[in-house]
């Protein structure tokens, strides 16, 4: 079969890193647009904020957070292998450690972001909010 996937953890790490980078870039463009919008049309900006606070907006925000977290963790993996080339022997293990860290760090953040979408109070409060 010619179309069979033959990559491994390194290829997946590369692909996820590129996809998450594009997602982050798209967010930056959207962010520049909505900052511009606040000065040009404040009413439309407020409508956009209501979309961000909606359940769909919260899901997109969660996906963006996941992209940022993965991109940062994988970037650290690349830095480790660049500064300590002998660590390339362990690139698969480091990639799996990245996924453990992704879950440990990301799941509480996911709950914090998604709780209001389900009418629940966010479990963590910051600054007396």
How confident is the model over 23-55, as pLDDT tens digits? Answer: 999 999 999 998 999 899 999 999 998 988 888
Decide if 50 contacts 104 (C-beta within 8 A): no
Tokens of 81: 């292998």
Tokens of 54: 């909606």
pTM: predicted TM-score of the whole model, two decimal places: 0.81
3-class DSSP assignment, residue 129: coil
What CATH class has 9-117? mainly alpha
Share of the chain above pLDDT 70, in %: 93
Higher pLDDT among residues 124 and 34, named by residue: 34
Nearest-angstrom CA–CA distance, 127 and 96: 34
């Amino acid at each position: 079969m010619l179309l069979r996937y033959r990559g491994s953890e390194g290829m997946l790490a590369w692909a996820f890193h590129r996809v998450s980078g594009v997602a982050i870039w798209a967010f930056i463009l959207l962010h520049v647009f909505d900052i511009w919008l606040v000065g040009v049309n404040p009413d439309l900006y407020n409508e956009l904020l209501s979309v961000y606070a909606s359940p769909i907006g919260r899901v997109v925000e969660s996906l963006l957070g996941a992209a940022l977290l993965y991109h940062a963790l994988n970037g650290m993996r690349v830095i480790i292998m660049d500064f300590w080339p002998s660590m390339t022997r362990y690139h698969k293990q480091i990639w799996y450690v990245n996924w453990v860290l992704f879950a440990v760090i990301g799941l509480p953040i996911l709950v914090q972001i998604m709780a209001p979408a389900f009418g629940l109070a966010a479990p963590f409060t910051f600054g007396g909010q």
